Amino acid sequence: MRNEIPKAQVYIESLIPQEAASKQKSRQFAEELGLGRISLSPSEGQLLSFLIRLHKCRKFVEVGTLTGLSAQYILEGMDGEGTLWSLEKAEVHAQKAQAALADHPAGSKAHLLVGDARVTLESLASEGPFDGIFIDGNKAAYGDYLTWAEKNVRKGGLIIADNVFLSGAVWGDPTQQKFNDKQIKALQDFNKRLADSTLYESVLIPTAEGMNVAVKLF
């Protein structure tokens, strides 16, 4: 949940070109659902694209589609050439995402899978190994998504996860949005595992929400 926007972010985003109509559509849909503040910001989206392009990913998985905003940044990072499987639990979110992606030049490269990602991820395994995954779904299940990624993302692949600060709850700050102990423990364990240098080369980027970026070494 993005609350107060830091001045650095305002400045950075003043330098980024306005988002295309298909992305504005995703934002509009998220606003209509009352969820505008949980989409990636333009600078976070740009970072996601940038990492995926640098890593030359062509087979990518996303957990947590919402209205398809981050999916568009992922497709752009793959230069419109790769395939994205984007997983979303809420049918209504997936429908909105489909409508926004229909307006994106690479939208047909996204396959939306509706259902609990812990189930749909298993059905996807036969398409792997994957070049990377973006984790932005149910916070309490981040550990389950990581367990799946450790089996199905290739050696040298990317694991990127958003909201890893849980608005400060991981270091004990009181937060506006209430997180339960299970969610907090899940994120603390998740960050700890990605920080294990025998398993990952990783960097935890201090974006407003915390974005963990890791290369899988095994």
Ligand X SMILES: C[S@@+](CC[C@H](N)C(=O)[O-])C[C@H]1O[C@@H](n2cnc3c(N)ncnc32)[C@H](O)[C@@H]1O
Residues that bind ligand X (CB under 6 A): 38-40, 63-64, 66, 69-70, 87-90, 93, 116-117, 136-138, 141
In the bound complex, what is the minimum distance in angstroms from residue 66's beta carbon to ligand X? 4
Of 31, 39, 108, 36, nearest to 68 by C-alpha is 39
- If you count DSSP H runs as helices and E runs as strands, how many of each does the chain have, helices first? 8, 7
Task: Indicate the burial class of 8 (C-beta count within 10 angstroms; 0-12, 13-18, 19 or more).
Answer: exposed
If the CB atoms of residues 12 and 90 are measured against ligand X, the closer one turns out to be 90
Closest distance to ligand X from the beta carbon of 95 (Å): 12
Minimum separation from the CB atom of position 44 to ligand X (A): 8
* Token output for 215: 């290369």
Nearer to ligand X, 61 or 214 (CB): 61
Q: In the complex, what is the shortest distance from the CB of residue 45 to ligand X, in angstroms, rounded to a whole number?
A: 7
- Which residue, 76 or 136, has its beta carbon nearer to ligand X? 136
Nearest to ligand X of 3, 196 (CB atom): 3
Residue with smallest beta-carbon separation from ligand X: 64
- Which DSSP string corresponds to 206-218? --SS-EEEEEE--
Question: Do residues 215 and 13 touch, judged by C-beta distance below 8 A?
Answer: no
Report the SS3 class of residue 96: helix
